Homo-oligomer: A and B are copies of this chain.
Amino acid sequence: MSPTPDCSLDRHCPLSAVTRWHYEADVVVLGFGASGASAAIEAARAGAKVSLFEVAAGSGGTSALSGGEIYMGGNGGTPIQRAAGFEDATEDLYKYLVMVGGPNADAAKARLYADNSLRHFEWLQAQGIEYKNSYIAERCIEPSTDDCLIWSGSEEAYPFVNEAKPAPRGHCPKFVGMGGGRYVMEKLAGQVSALGVEVTYNARALSLVADEYGRVHGLVVRVGGEQRYARARRGVILCAGGFIMNREMVKQHAPLMLRSLHPIGTVDDGSGIRLGMSVGGATVNMAEGFSTVPWYPPGSLVKGIFINEHGQRFINEDCYHGRVSHYMLQQDGVRIWLLADHDTYGVSDMHTLAKIEIGAAGDTWEDVERELKLPEKSLVSSVAIYNHYAARGEDPMFRKAKKWLKPLDKPPFVALDCRKDHCFFSSFTLGGLDTLPTGEVLNEGREPVPGLFAAGRTACGLPRWGEGYSSGMSLADATFFGRQAGRRAATA
């Protein structure tokens, strides 16, 4: 029988109701994905006794579903960037991170990460993660080889290119095929194990324990059907993922994400965020999420143009696929097409996940417009304006870079059907608890909640704006700021 029947994820358990601690540690970590592993490693290295609880039967979390790509650079470039000819300045990385953070970017986190990104690369290698010294110049989502460096954001596209010198910054681990995230997690989990962190699997978080002043003292978990109390002498670190799998929370907070039918998540039920809120933690950007249909490769399609159901263009198509996809979600209606001509089609090279089908085809753009049942001249005018300027190497409306400009004038013409309910349109959430760069969870007045930390998608981190997300940012944030939280909690 529970002495605290009212406790829940959303109502903390009073310290006075705890009669026995079943676990005692300096630092309690919830969640064994990349952020939890990184936090546990650094806390243990700082001398703390660490106890880690994970709801699943093994390590990995949603990090293990990813490609394992990590966004890094600055400081003159990682060795792999430099070998590929990119001297990536810290200020360029910083400016890019602030721009892609959107209108409420976290400049303090961007600063800390930009200054220490190269050291973070070295740290990852020290954990046993290997990187091949190689670079892929072509547009790609995730290498099918064990190659490393890719362009994984909108660095070369307007408006980013105007403010920050571009460089490729997506570092994929030396792992053949998809599934690099699993490889990264195995290396991190190996360190967690070697450091003697006490790991309890199949442990579901029920509630935080806090005293009447709101200081966090521990965590209540269910293990083997029993309610158990874990004392955290210095701090609890919430690394329990986002909330994309909790469809009620998505509907309430990020309804735009409901338009994307393929959530990327394992647990990601919002439990970490809710635990933080139960002791007054503030949330930020709960409406924001990453979502994408991976519409390239082939890179030739970047020379095509997207139109909405008004026949209008809406973005420079040389942006990262996720940025373009986020604009797709925001258009009126559900019908979106990617227009290509004979020279730009090349769909045989399309990523197997994408499988975007042809919605209409014809020998003239008038034919395509008619087949799509669009208002007369709507699509045709958009193509005419685009072609007129593209022939001169210009795109005054959306500023696609010159190398992607080519009149779409070689029949046959096609309109690829990018309807959100027809394509693979994946998503995860970017909103979460407000934290300092140290991982300390903040209340709405931006004072730390004593004894509480968060990292990964439980926090609102560097990646916090759907329009700005770049591949590798979530794992970069999870590992780097997981480490900060572990270090700070160990010495709190």
Contacts and interface: CB of A to CB of B under 8 A. Distances in A.
Given A14-B212, A385-B375, A396-B375, A277 B102 contact: no
A376 B385 contact: yes
A443 B397 contact: no
A307 to B, nearest CB: 11
Interface stretch (A163-171, A282-290, A295-303, A481-489): A282-290
A384 to B, nearest CB: 7
A397 B9 contact: no
A388 interface: yes
Interface stretch (A134-142, A177-185, A253-261): A253-261
Given A11-B443, A253-B284, 11 more contacts: A6-B213, A9-B444, A10-B443, A103-B256, A274-B443, A286-B286, A287-B287, A310-B313, A311-B397, A378-B385, A381-B385
Contacts of A6: 213
A12 B376 contact: no
A207 to B, nearest CB: 11
A8 interface: yes
A447 B10 contact: yes
Interface in A182-228: 211-214
Contacts of A313: 310
7 contacts: A11-B214, A102-B255, A253-B284, A273-B444, A277-B277, A311-B397, A377-B384
Nearest to A250: B104
Contacts of A377: 381, 384-385, 388
Interface of A: 6, 8-12, 14-17, 102-104, 211-214, 249, 251-253, 255-256, 258, 270, 273-274, 277-280, 282-287, 310-313, 330, 375-378, 381, 384-385, 388-389, 396-398, 434, 443-445, 447
Nearest to A313: B310
Contact of A277 (B16, B282, B385): B282
Contacts of A280: 10-12, 277-280
A443 B398 contact: no
A444 B398 contact: no
A330 B278 CA distance: 33
A276 to B, nearest CB: 10
Contact of A274 (B16, B397, B445): B445
A391 B256 CA distance: 36
Given A8-B445, A274-B445, A255 B104 contact: yes
B8 A447 contact: yes
Indicate how many identical chains form the complex: 2
Contacts of A252: 104, 284, 434
A478 B39 CA distance: 45
Contacts of A274: 443-445
B9 A445 contact: yes
A251 B445 CA distance: 13
Nearest to A375: B396
A433 to B, nearest CB: 12
A253 B285 CA distance: 7
B397 A444 contact: no
A136 to B, nearest CB: 31
Nearest to A434: B252
A221 B381 CA distance: 63
B270 A444 contact: yes
Contact of A444 (B10, B381, B384, B389): B10
Contacts of A214: 11-12
Contacts of A287: 285, 287
A376 B388 contact: yes
A239 to B, nearest CB: 18
A284 B286 CA distance: 9
A170 to B, nearest CB: 26
A387 to B, nearest CB: 11
